[in-house]
Amino acid sequence: MKQLRSPIVAMILALATGLAFAGAALAQGTSAAAFPSKPIRMIVTVPPGGAADFIARTVSSRLASALNQPVLVENRAGASGYIAADFVAKSAPDGYTLLQNSITTHGIGPHLYAKLPLEPMKDLVPVTLLAKLPVIMVINANQSFTTLAELISAARQRPGQIAFASSGNGGAPHMSGELFKAVVGVDLLHVPYKGSGPAVTDLVGGQVQVMFDGAPSLLANIQAGKLKAVATASERRTALMPDLPTFNELGYRGIDIAIWYGVMAPAGTPTEITTRLASEFAKVLQMPEVRERFLSQGTEPMGGTPEQAGAFIRAEFERWGAVVRKAGVKAD
């Protein structure tokens, strides 16, 4: 015969359950209030060197001083950033393991792959935005066309014969070229490379004629006269090259592209922690020495609350989804 539970026993069990939930909530609140009490890891999606690594290390060293805890940069490259993203998504949601995400992991990449090890927009939550680099369009200095108008004219006369290089299929430089093609209405041949370095080498050598990329990859060869910058893909001119017009100024609206980087945490990270981190990152990004270092590389500090970062990332996700679908681009 089934034993009936007395009202007193039921009341005791209910009280115990309530105390357990309250204890868990109190523990989480205490943990958030004490944050941070140990080193924080910033996981970067690319190898050491380059713009992403430069941004992460510049910010992390100052953040460590502000939080009075080490902030360790750890590079986990591969799979368009999803090795790093998956690692962070599967980490404890306590604010001690962060991802430096990007336009690739949360703007372009999710639309290129049929299957990913995680759901980038669900398994990670935004903390803040770090910085953006306007994309610049350059041409080999020895070409017969030297302006944007001349390039477009030549491309219309020789559809599919003028080649643009990129750092790889599906990356921001590639998709910048695809967006340019769609807005202007020209057919350029895409030639992907394994990284910006070899792409720039062939561009300087004349094997390809055009490239879209962030200023740090191109600046030395522009200054040496080997590449000619023709336009910047941003709402306003870059302070690094104030004489370079935007595509908008040249009559082509909609080519507004920035290679951006932010910070994400595992889903479930307490709001108190993501808000605290966003506030500390904002203070770091306002430091004169950080701003000076960034601007010297054509990098614009960003910052913002988790809510602002989330709105920005969602907009980029939707925008690049439309571009990828129109271009018909798939991952290698």
pLDDT digits (tens, 9 = 90+) for 206-235: 999 999 998 878 888 999 999 999 999 988
What are the tens digits of pLDDT across the range 89-121?
A: 999 999 999 999 999 999 999 998 889 999 999
Q: How far apart are CA 212 and CA 114, in angstroms?
A: 26
Instruction: List CB contacts of 16: < 8 A, sequence separation 6 or more.
Output: none
Spatial CA neighbour of 301 closest among 131, 133, 135, 134: 131
Q: pLDDT tens-digit profile of 288-303?
A: 999 999 988 888 999 9
**Which domains, ranges and CATH numbers included, belong to the chain?**
38-132+259-327 (3.40.190.150), 134-233 (3.40.190.10)
> Distance (Å, rounded) from C-alpha 282 to C-alpha 73?
18
Q: Find the range with the poorest average confidence among 37-51, 147-161, 197-211.
A: 37-51
25 vs 268, more confident? 268
Taking 3-state DSSP, the helix, strand and coil percentages for the chain, each rounded to the nearest 5, stand at 50, 20, 35
What is the distance between the alpha carbons of residues 264 and 309, in angstroms, rounded to a whole number?
Answer: 9
* CB-CB contact of 106 with 187 (8 Å): no
pTM of full prediction above 0.85: no
Predicted confidence at residue 25, as pLDDT, reads 47
Pick from 299, 301, 134, 156: nearest CA to 229: 134
AA identity, residue 313: I
Query: What does the pLDDT average to over 279-286?
Result: 98
- State the Cα–Cα distance between residues 147 and 187, nearest whole angstrom: 17
Q: What is the pLDDT of residue 1?
A: 43
Cross-strand pairs, 227 = 140
pLDDT at 27: 47
> Strands 71-75 and 40-44: what pairing?
parallel
Encode pLDDT of 19-35 as tens digits: 555 554 444 554 677 89
